[in-house]
Each structure stands twice: as C-alpha cells, then as structure tokens.
C-alpha cells in the first residue's frame, strides 16, 4: 500500500439532504458535491455520522456512495463510511463500496455491542483482509462507547491497508503516542482541534464545518502546510465559535439547519434526531450573521 495520504487538507463529512417525505434528495446532494469541490474541499466523505448513515437503509447507503463517486468523477477522493457493529455486514458494505469505485473506507468502531481492544484488532483486520481499499479507523468514543487505545492503533497500523486514523477523542496525549509509535496518517475528527492535530503531524480534518465554510476550512489546513502556521491558527480561532455552534445539538441537527439557512434545501434529519428548538435556531442564525454567511 502506497504511503501517499488518501488526502491532505479538509475533507467534508457531507450531509445527506432529505426531501419532505424523508427520502434522499439526490439532486441537492449532487449540487452540494459540486459546490464543495468548487470551494476547495479536498475529499468527500459519504455516509459518515454527519451523513446520517445510521438511518439510511442498505439500498440508500449504497446509492449515496454511488452518486458521490459518479458526481465527483475522480476530482477528489471519495471516502465511504461503511462501518458497522456487525463485522460481517461491515465487510459486505465495504466490498460494495469498493466495487462502486470509492477511494477509501471510513470505519467507525463497533458501537452498542462494543468489543475489547483484542476484538477491535480482529474486527478491523477481518475487514481489511476482505478489501484492497485503504482504511481510515474512526475513533469517536463519545458516540460509540469504545476508545481505540494507542497500542491498538499501533498494532493495526501493521496491517497493510489500514493507513489512517480519524481521531475524535480529544486526547492529545494519546494522539502523540500514536504519532510517535507508528507511521499512520492522522486526521482531526473535531473542527475545533484542526491545528493541534496538524501540529502533531496530522494530514488534515474530516470536517462538519466544511459543509458551511468549505474554502475557509480548507485554508486552515493549507496555510499550515504552506508554512503559515500563524495564519492557520488565526483562521482556526476565528471560526471557533461557528464550529462550536454546529455542535449545540446532536450532530448533524445543527449543520443541516445551518445549510437550510444558507439556502440549501437539505431538509430535516431523520428521526430519532429531532429539529432544534427555537432558541437554538435563533442563536445559530445570529452566529451565521456574525460571520456574514446570511443577512
């Protein structure tokens, strides 16, 4: 497996727009992908948490990946979220994403039933052995109840096509241990921590914020890579309030609401995710106005 990163910079964990009847709005989805690429996004992450993967049925999940691959047409990598708490299903979905032409896979840790660290090694190794695509481990214990320990990441990095980690556990000491202990690409999974991850050798971010400000999120990373670390930090801090506001409710409720406010017809999230209350909507609108994104 080549050591070239899957991508460097800001990859968007893109929302999945919904029609009023709850079906996927593929017309808007295609338009969103075009706008993201136009504004410098470095990768499209389809069917992640922000894309409501947990409430897409199998056929929808496959079709969202298919449309992303076709619309992107090789201009930037498409990373398919195919993680599951069922190893057999994870393998099935990962094989389908590979056949559809995805460039890489994003695999969240098994959730709810969870597993041990030994189980994580067995789970990820089984999936990696079933496909040829590069794999990004996704560590988000706040959602899954499972934390991938540094020694587990180091062990998994020995598997040829496990090449990256999306780190969303806010543990910089653990991230430093991983960076020191193995050659694996690290992406921030939190928009308020892009620069800290870059400072540990990270390759970028898999971003919710990029849905709203793709160019600026790209620039946080690009300035860092260009050696303008002060400029990168300045942008990180400038957009900190907006990044935090997009998590004032359960992701992706706020970001979909923000996209609707920006004029994108993204619809509501599927239940059990429920629309924000009026007070949070007003605060979100105020924040978007503060940044000049809406009038």
Annotated catalytic sites, by residue?
138, 166
221 touches 236 (CB < 8 A): no
Q: How far apart are CA 250 and CA 237, in angstroms?
A: 22
Q: Which residues pair with 105 in a beta bridge?
A: 80, 135
CA distances 36 to 18, 64, 97, 169, 259, Å, are 18, 16, 21, 26, 13
192 touches 244 (CB < 8 A): yes
**Per-residue b/e over 204-226, b at no fewer than 16 CB within 10 Å?**
bbbbbbbbbbbebbbbbbbbbee
78 touches 44 (CB < 8 A): yes
**Per-residue b/e over 102-119, b at no fewer than 16 CB within 10 Å?**
bbbbbbbbbbeeebeeeb
Residue of 15, 17, 70, 74 whose CA lies nearest to 43: 74
Helical spans, DSSP H, in the chain = 26-38, 58-72, 87-100, 117-130, 141-144, 150-156, 172-181, 194-199, 214-225, 229-238, 240-245, 253-261, 278-290
């Amino acid at each position: 497996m080549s050591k070239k990163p899957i991508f460097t910079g800001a990859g968007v964990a893109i929302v999945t727009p919904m029609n009023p009847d709850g079906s996927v709005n593929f017309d808007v989805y295609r338009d969103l992908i075009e706008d993201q690429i136009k504004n410098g996004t470095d990768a499209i992450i389809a069917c992640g948490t922000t894309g409501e993967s947990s409430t897409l049925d199998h056929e929808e999940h496959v079709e969202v990946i298919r449309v992303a691959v076709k619309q992107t047409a090789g201009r930037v990598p498409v990373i398919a979220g195919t993680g599951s708490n069922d190893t057999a299903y994870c393998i099935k979905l990962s094989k389908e994403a590979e056949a559809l032409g995805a460039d890489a896979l994003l695999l969240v840790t098994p959730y709810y039933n969870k597993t041990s660290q030994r189980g994580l090694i067995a789970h990820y190794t089984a999936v990696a052995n079933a496909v040829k695509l590069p794999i990004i481990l996704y560590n988000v214990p706040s959602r899954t109840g499972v934390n991938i320990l540094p020694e587990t990441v180091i062990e998994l990095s020995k598997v040829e096509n496990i090449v990256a980690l999306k780190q969303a556990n806010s543990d910089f000491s653990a991230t430093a241990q991983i960076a020191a202990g193995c050659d694996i690409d690290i992406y921030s999974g939190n928009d308020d921590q892009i620069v800290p991850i870059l400072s540990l050798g990270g390759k970028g971010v898999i971003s919710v914020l990029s849905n709203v400000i793709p160019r600026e999120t790209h620039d946080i990373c690009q300035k860092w890579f260009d050696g303008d670390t002060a400029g990168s930090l300045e942008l990180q801090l400038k957009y900190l309030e907006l990044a935090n506001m997009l998590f004032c409710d359960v992701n992706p409720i706020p970001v979909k609401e923000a996209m609707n406010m920006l004029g994108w017809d993204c619809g509501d999230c599927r239940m059990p995710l429920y629309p924000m209350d009026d007070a949070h909507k007003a605060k979100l609108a105020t924040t978007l106005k503060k940044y000049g994104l809406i009038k």
